[in-house]
A and B are shown apart, each in its own frame.
Chain A
Amino acid sequence: MTKPKVAVFDFTCCEGCELQILNCEDEILDILGKIEIVNFREAMSNGRDDYEIALIDGAISTSRDVERIKSIREKAKLLITIGSCSSTGGINCLKNFWPMDEVKKIVYGDMAKHFETIPARPVSAIVKVDFSIPGCPIDKKEFLRCLAELLAGKNPEVPNYAVCVECKLKENECVFDKGLFCLGPVTRAGCEARCPSYNSACEGCRGLVDNPNVTAEKDILQKYGLTVPQVLDRFKLFQGCYQQVV
């Protein structure tokens, strides 16, 4: 049976999600036995264009990015986004709350006209995405499970329930009771509630569940002393693209 040809492409990101693939040190040799990586700029030279599966890391934030992702979509049978940036825009969307001209002028001053930027967007805003693996970064276990399911010819799935479920299963003490403001109640599980398990608040990096109980979340946050603008502000960190942009 021929090994599926896979390519990894990066856009506007920290390259953490593709690094997580290389961080599966115990499994990487097995993975290379099951797939043929034909293009992965960060790890290999002389990549090829005959890929069937394209893994996309990073958000779209320039017009060059737009052209490049369209060209990849044309070639790939399956286009999979890995991580927050490509799946929901990620932290890059914080930039969207400022006018682009102002952003460039502040950073580059008189040289601003040489540089180009557009509001940061997830890949799905430009082309059809077949499947998304969320997280900032992606969770290694989840990635390996999804890859195994894909290779077995199944449609991979990620949970559609909130992080709270995983927190309860681990019998964690709720971090709200430790004085932290957690976005767990509306954030998609699949990370085994990692941040709350380390006594930290969930920041919502995996995106919202499909039908988030945002009203209930706002109620909880307000109960613990945050104003509505502060609540919306918390969501901006990783959910910026869901909110209004300038």
Chain B
Amino acid sequence: MAIKDLKIDIHHITRVEGHGNIVVDAKDGAIREIRWEVPESPRFFEVMLRGRTWEEAAHITSRICAICSAGHTLASIKATEDAFGITPTAQTWRLRKLLSYGEHIQSHILHVCFLVLPDLLGVDSVIPLAATHPNEVKLALRMKKLGNDIADIVGGRAVHPITAWVGGFAKVPSEEDLKHLRKRLVAAIDDTKTLVNLVKSLASKIPDFIRETEFISLKWEKEYPWLDGNIHSSDAGTVSYKDYEKVSNEFIVPYSTAKRSKNRRSSYMVGALARVNNNYDQLSPFAKSAADVFGLKPICHNPFMNNIAQVVETAHCVEDAIATIDQLLKAGIKQEPIRVVPKAGRGIGAIEVPRGILFHDYTYDDNGIMLKANLVIPTNQNHANIEDDMKAWVPLMFKKDAPQEAISHNLEMLVRAYDPCVSCSTHLLKVDFT
């Protein structure tokens, strides 16, 4: 019997970072309302940054989010260095990339294995899987721990790093530590292959939902972009990172404390899928072989493939982390002096973090005191796309007479596919206190 009415009200969706609600209302076969609401308590980070020093900016903004704290730290540092005209040394750049790899491995594994896999295996959480799939759970823990240990060793602490400073690293890791990490990364290649096969065996459970989407990420001529490059849209080409506001176009809706973005269409998507779609050719050989297993090629418009893209990127991070450590060891790792002279001006840091492209925009006075700050978070940039996906998909499921429970569960899976970091997206905003 065809369902005529639909009332879905998922309060505080589970297995995502932060708080979000899904609301769907349909009566007599007609859809009245579809909303993705973010009721997260805003914390007002741009207000918190008021009058604080350039030395504190990274430590304050890392507290926007635990999973991407290294990402915020690095974006913050880049923005300050852009303002002060500082270029990092080759060693600093490589250490930052390694820190970023640690974070990506930890974040992607946490997301795919702990937050998404339960849906593909039909359970509520990873906890029952510890009994039914012990080897797979141990593999997930092992890889997640490796990601965290890389960040611990390079950053001093995985959650809210300590050693990454404007201008360099307060304490560099030892050769011994790097060699030990390298061994574990080499062992992780086999683990990654096992993970690819596990996800492949469940690939039939991944919904086949296509909606033409604009994808936005960094793009860099030198390599797959994490910390460098300019802003690339799959619709419109590349613009300078300094023009990020022309791309992000933030706007507010009353039922959501998190701002939203749009560029060429009513919404766009950022994250692993966007990066792979825009920069496929620069993926490492191991990553490309993982992509081939799933048939993932640009340009893919299924948001659920974001999780496959995360597996592919994990392969890339493992392989390139080994290469990066080799470069660091070859050059010989040494404590480099850090010299920073603050000056008045504006700087922008645009980097890729696990969930997508992140912008930190700072304006300083002569003494390096923060006058103005704007932060545009990847998850903010995805909120409108999530809602547009829901608006396209619900009518299709409704037409196929899917039961309410199935529609409900599918929408939860859709939100999870984006790997949203809702706390990040309600950090908030533009402040001018001159």
Contacts and interface: CB of A to CB of B under 8 A. Distances in A.
Across the A-B interface, give the 7 residue pairs with the lowest CB-CB distance, nearest first.
A16-B66, A44-B125, A25-B145, A94-B48, A198-B156, A45-B14, A45-B124
Given A95-B43, A95-B48, A117-B44, A15 B66 contact: yes
A44 B128 CA distance: 10
A107 B431 contact: yes
Given A44-B124, A45-B125, A61-B41, 20 more contacts: A12-B41, A12-B43, A15-B18, A22-B110, A23-B158, A25-B141, A25-B144, A26-B141, A29-B141, A42-B16, A43-B127, A62-B41, A90-B63, A106-B47, A108-B429, A115-B42, A136-B63, A195-B156, A198-B162, A198-B171
A204 to B, nearest CB: 11
Given A13-B423, A26-B145, A199-B171, A19 B43 contact: no
B254 A114 contact: yes
Nearest to A195: B162
Interface string B415-434: 00000000100001111100
Contacts of B16: 42
B50 interface: yes
Contacts of A124: none
A43 B12 contact: no
Prevailing SS type, chain B contact patch: loop
B157 interface: yes
A166 interface: no
B81 to A, nearest CB: 18
A224 interface: no
29 contacts: A11-B41, A13-B423, A14-B64, A14-B69, A15-B17, A23-B144, A25-B148, A29-B137, A42-B17, A43-B126, A44-B14, A44-B125, A45-B125, A46-B14, A46-B124, A61-B41, A95-B44, A107-B431, A108-B429, A115-B42, A115-B257, A117-B44, A137-B66, A137-B160, A194-B162, A198-B170, A199-B163, A200-B156, A237-B56
B109 to A, nearest CB: 10
A128 B67 CA distance: 30
A90 B50 CA distance: 17
A202 B44 CA distance: 24
Interface in B81-116: 110, 114-115
A22 B137 CA distance: 13
B49 to A, nearest CB: 8
A138 to B, nearest CB: 9
Contacts of B311: none
A42 B56 contact: no
B31 interface: no
B252 A111 contact: yes
Contacts of A94: 47-48, 52, 60
Contact of B114 (A13, A22, A108): A22
Interface string A190-207: 000011001110010000
A142 interface: no
Interface of B: 12, 14-18, 41-44, 46-48, 50, 52, 56, 59-60, 63-67, 69, 110, 114-115, 118, 124-127, 130, 137, 141-142, 144-145, 148, 156-160, 162-163, 165, 170-171, 252, 254, 257, 423, 428-432
Nearest to A93: B48
B278 to A, nearest CB: 29
Interface string A114-135: 1101001000000000000000
A29 B141 CA distance: 10
Nearest to A108: B252
Contact of B159 (A20, A28, A107): A20
A200 B124 contact: no
B423 A14 contact: yes
B170 A200 contact: yes
Nearest to B256: A114
B120 to A, nearest CB: 14
B421 to A, nearest CB: 9
Given A42-B16, A46-B124, A107 B44 contact: yes
A237 B56 CA distance: 9
A7 interface: no
A90 B64 CA distance: 12
Contacts of B165: 200
A152 interface: no
Contact of B59 (A23, A29, A203): A203
Interface in A30-77: 32, 37, 40-47, 61-62, 64-65
Nearest to B68: A14
Contact of A107 (B42, B59, B114, B118): B42
Contacts of B59: 203, 237
Nearest to A11: B41
Contacts of A136: 63, 160
Contacts of A199: 163, 170-171
Given A14-B65, A114-B254, A136-B63, A23 B46 contact: no
Nearest to B422: A15
**Most chain B Cβ neighbours within 10 Å, of A14, A23, A42, A114:** A14
Contacts of A195: 156, 162
Nearest to A100: B44
A14 B125 contact: no
B162 A107 contact: no
Nearest to B432: A106
Nearest to A91: B63
A147 interface: no
A131 B170 CA distance: 34
Contacts of A103: 44, 47
B127 A16 contact: no
A61 B156 contact: no
A25 B48 contact: no
Contacts of B17: 15, 42
A206 B293 CA distance: 47
Contacts of A37: 127
**Most chain A Cβ neighbours within 10 Å, of B156, B158, B162:** B162
Contacts of A43: 15, 114-115, 125-127
Contacts of B63: 14, 16, 90-91, 136
Contacts of B142: 25
B157 A194 contact: yes
